[in-house]
Amino acid sequence: MASQNSIFLLIILCTHMLMILTLSQNPPNEIPFACVQQSTQCKSRLYQHNPLTKNNISALYSVDISQIQNITHGDQHHHLVTVPCSCKNVNNTVAYFYDTVYSVKLGDILSDVSDEFYSGQTWDDQGTRFKVNTNATIHLLCGCTGSESQIMVTYTVQEMDTLPDIANLLSAEVSEIENVNKVLLRNPGFIKVGWVLYVPMYKNGVPPSPSPLTSKKRKEVVEATGDKCRMYNLFVQVTSCLELVFNEFSNMSHLEVTHHLDMYSRNNSTQMSPGA
Ligand SMILES: *[C@@H]1O[C@H](CO)[C@@H](O)[C@H](O)[C@H]1NC(C)=O
Ligand SMILES: *[C@@H]1O[C@H](CO)[C@@H](O)[C@H](O)[C@H]1NC(C)=O
Ligand SMILES: *[C@@H]1O[C@H](CO)[C@@H](O)[C@H](O)[C@H]1NC(C)=O
Ligand SMILES: *[C@@H]1O[C@H](CO)[C@@H](O)[C@H](O)[C@H]1NC(C)=O
Ligand SMILES: *[C@@H]1O[C@H](CO)[C@@H](O)[C@H](O)[C@H]1NC(C)=O
Ligand SMILES: *[C@@H]1O[C@H](CO)[C@@H](O)[C@H](O)[C@H]1NC(C)=O
Ligand SMILES: CC(=O)N[C@H]1CO[C@H](CO)[C@@H](O)[C@@H]1O
């Protein structure tokens, strides 16, 4: 029994190492989003960067015009297409997809059609026969977030993009993008044009960071307010001033903290003389 188990584990280990080896040798541009058991379907958005009109996108994606939103990326005008995303088995790949239909023209090749009309977000199921004058099913990659306040955006990395840019563009957190795309984003800060990423977008903007300060932000606040505390000589010890900053002002911006310290100094000006 024990030896059977260890053989089984060994096989799993070997398969995993083989998979990692294959991935590192030939990194794919896209990885389908594995289904989460609880959500077999959700609304998702596909980021469209091709120079197409809303009417074109409506026809190509089989969606109503009302589901297409403008979005500006630098000086470029792009679109966000809202689609129903569901868990499907596409030729033995079980993942989230949104299917649409493409009318095949002479000389069409799936990869070119994907780049030209679908922002490189189609999944090649190895089965799509591109016969002229037929309708071919196109499987577009999509994802679900499992959170009411967020919606998953399928985004294809473009020239000059950085992760913070993408996060900013789509109201997302870099750390959350990294978490969702662990396989592609193995090297911190490195992204490649053409990679298809899943970006958990906050529908109503990124919420303010919660109270506990990260060590980086803590350092910034200390640097920005330490001098102020010292200058106003507000407290017997500068450390108590900083403590107050952390305890009471922890989720404020530098400007707000400075403003509040100014208020404190004004309120207490009879006891303490600023600029001492
Ligand atoms: C885009 O729409 C125009 C006019 O509506 C049409 O002539 C053109 O063929 C469409 N292009 C694609 C790629 O669908
Ligand atoms: C979206 O962009 C198009 C042109 O790119 C413009 O004509 C239209 O007014 C914009 N719609 C909205 C709602 O901003
Ligand atoms: C599934 O993929 C294999 C190659 O991996 C291909 O030969 C086959 O035609 C595909 N089947 C369908 C139904 O798309
Ligand atoms: C492809 O789909 C379109 C729209 O649904 C339809 O009008 C057309 O007849 C279809 N073509 C074929 C060859 O089935
Ligand atoms: C700081 O955050 C807490 C909860 O995270 C909130 O209740 C409080 O109002 C916030 N304070 C300020 C000054 O924004
Ligand atoms: C300063 O005093 C004013 C009015 O007395 C009060 O509203 C304000 O909250 C005080 N500020 C601080 C930082 O204590
Ligand atoms: C150090 C100090 O005296 N702080 C006081 C400043 O004034 C506020 C009221 O405005 C008091 O609550 C603080 O104790």
Contacts of the segment 158-164: beta carbons below 8 A, 24+ positions apart: 158/49, 158/73, 158/193, 159/193, 160/74, 161/191, 161/193, 162/189, 162/191, 163/189, 163/191
The number of beta carbons lying within 10 Å of the beta carbon of residue 72 is 9
Q: Are residue 83 and residue 174 in the same domain, yes or no?
A: yes
Rounded CA-CA distance 212/221 in Å is 13
174 lines ligand 5 (CB under 6 A): no
Q: Name the residue at shortest CA distance from atom 2 of ligand 4.
A: 135
Taking residues 32-61, what's their average pLDDT? 93
Q: Are residue 56 and residue 101 in the same domain, yes or no?
A: yes
The ligand placed nearest to the CA atom of residue 53 is 1
Give pLDDT tens digits for 84-105. Answer: 999 999 989 999 999 999 999 9
Domain membership flag for residue 209: no
Q: Are residue 127 and residue 219 in the same domain, yes or no?
A: no
CB 124 within 8 A of CB 138: no
pLDDT of residue 271: 46
Q: Are residue 52 and residue 169 in the same domain, yes or no?
A: yes
pLDDT of residue 20: 45
Query: In which band, very low, low, confident or very high, does the pLDDT at 148 lie, cut at 50, 70 and 90?
Result: confident
Is residue 48 pLDDT above 60, yes or no? yes
Query: In which band, very low, low, confident or very high, does the pLDDT at 206 lie, cut at 50, 70 and 90?
Result: confident
Q: How far is the CA of 63 from the centre of ligand 2 (A)?
A: 17
209 lines ligand 5 (CB under 6 A): no
Boundary (domain end) residue, out of 149, 179, 202: 202
Q: Which atom of ligand 3 is nearest to the CA of 128?
A: 14
Using the structure block, give the residue that is written with the tokens 């000006």: 269
Q: Are residue 198 and residue 219 in the same domain, yes or no?
A: no
Q: Are residue 246 and residue 122 in the same domain, yes or no?
A: no
Residue scoring higher pLDDT (45 or 37): 45
Boundary (domain end) residue, out of 202, 223, 239: 202
Rounded CA-CA distance 206/221 in Å is 21
Q: How far is the CA of 251 from the centre of ligand 5 (A)?
A: 6
Q: How far is the CA of 70 from the centre of ligand 2 (A)?
A: 6
The ligand placed nearest to the CA atom of residue 125 is 3
Domain membership flag for residue 154: yes
Domain membership flag for residue 91: yes
Q: Are residue 80 and residue 139 in the same domain, yes or no?
A: yes
Q: Name the residue at shortest CA distance from atom 3 of ligand 6.
A: 267
Boundary (domain end) residue, out of 202, 224, 240: 202
Domain membership flag for residue 7: no
Q: Are residue 73 and residue 161 in the same domain, yes or no?
A: yes
Residue ranges making up the domain that contains 257: 215-268
pLDDT of residue 55: 97
Give pLDDT tens digits for 149-175. Answer: 999 999 999 999 999 999 999 999 999
Q: Are residue 136 and residue 234 in the same domain, yes or no?
A: no
Q: How far is the CA of 56 from the centre of ligand 1 (A)?
A: 5
Q: Are residue 140 and residue 65 in the same domain, yes or no?
A: yes
Closest CA to 45 of 158, 165, 152, 202: 152
Contacts of the segment 68-76: beta carbons below 8 A, 24+ positions apart: 71/47, 71/169, 73/49, 73/158, 73/169, 74/160, 76/49
Domain membership flag for residue 210: no
Taking residues 61-85, what's their average pLDDT? 96
Q: Are residue 160 and residue 244 in the same domain, yes or no?
A: no
Mean pLDDT computed over every residue of the chain? 80
Domain membership flag for residue 72: yes
Total structural domains within the chain: 2
Closest CA to 206 of 254, 169, 179, 155: 169
Q: Give the pTM.
A: 0.65
Q: How far is the CA of 116 from the centre of ligand 2 (A)?
A: 21
Rounded CA-CA distance 17/113 in Å is 34
91 lines ligand 6 (CB under 6 A): no
Domain membership flag for residue 3: no
Is residue 266 pLDDT above 50, yes or no? yes
Q: Which residues contact 164 (CB under 8 A, 6 or more apart)?
A: 174
Domain membership flag for residue 8: no
Pairing of β 41-48 and β 76-90: antiparallel
Q: Are residue 50 and residue 73 in the same domain, yes or no?
A: yes
